[in-house]
Amino acid sequence: MWVTRFAPSPTGFLHLGHVASALFGWRYAKPGGRWLVRMEDIDPQRCRAEYATAILEDLDWLGLKPDGAVLYQSARMPAYARTLAELDRLGVLYPCFCTRSEIAREQAGMFSAPHTAPDGSLLYPGTCRHLSGPERARRLAEGKPHVLRLDMEKALALVREKASLEAEAEAEA
């Protein structure tokens, strides 16, 4: 059974790109699958409840009815907070103080081919990954704006370690 989802950000009204994406997911899930709708409403400056309502009304008008309750990302913030706390406990998170424009400038200065993700967005060059503990603490204490990033090297090492331990336990059984 296929499960697909349509996940618009309610920052405006439904447009043709949304319709194409929603219809593709809906058609792919039918027959026998499930088509879900998840509102990406976690940007309080840009997301509006009236846009979410309008999007759902338009989907209904188009005959695209979700197979289940609409999930609002904003309602899941406590779960995300628990997950972030666990990732922090594992030591795989670090604060990044770079702005998007700083990351873009860093990208422009690289000599090799542009480093972009499959969706075309810029990849983070890792500028803040190697800040010392005291430097991170100083910037945080000063209230510098930041985001949390996942240290993929550390995270992958944990995953590999867990997989190795599970394989050993399985071999011993």
Give 3-76's CATH code, choosing from 3.40.50.2000, 3.40.50.620, 3.40.50.300, 3.20.20.140. Answer: 3.40.50.620
Question: Which one, of 42, 15, 30, 18, lies nearest residue 66 by Cα?
Answer: 30
The model's pTM is 0.66
Q: pLDDT value at position 86? A: 96
Residue pair 72/44 in contact by the 8 Å Cβ criterion = no
Which run of H or of E encompasses 57? helix 49-61
Question: Which one, of 149, 104, 145, 109, lies nearest residue 126 by Cα?
Answer: 149
Residue pair 35/71 in contact by the 8 Å Cβ criterion = no
pLDDT in tens, the chain (173 residues): 899 999 999 999 999 999 999 999 999 998 899 999 999 999 999 999 999 999 999 999 999 999 999 999 999 999 999 999 999 999 999 999 999 888 888 877 665 555 566 666 667 788 899 999 999 999 999 999 999 999 989 999 999 988 877 777 777 76
Between the alpha carbon of residue 61 and those of residues 9, 49, 56, 66, 109, the distances in Å are 19, 18, 9, 12, 49
Q: How do beta strands 3-6 and 34-39 pair?
A: parallel
**Phi, psi for residue 145 in degrees, rounded to 5:** -60, 140
How far is residue 89's CA from residue 81's CA, in Å, rounded to a whole number? 12
Give the tokens for residue 102. 């700083």
Domain ranges (residues) in the chain: 3-76, 90-172
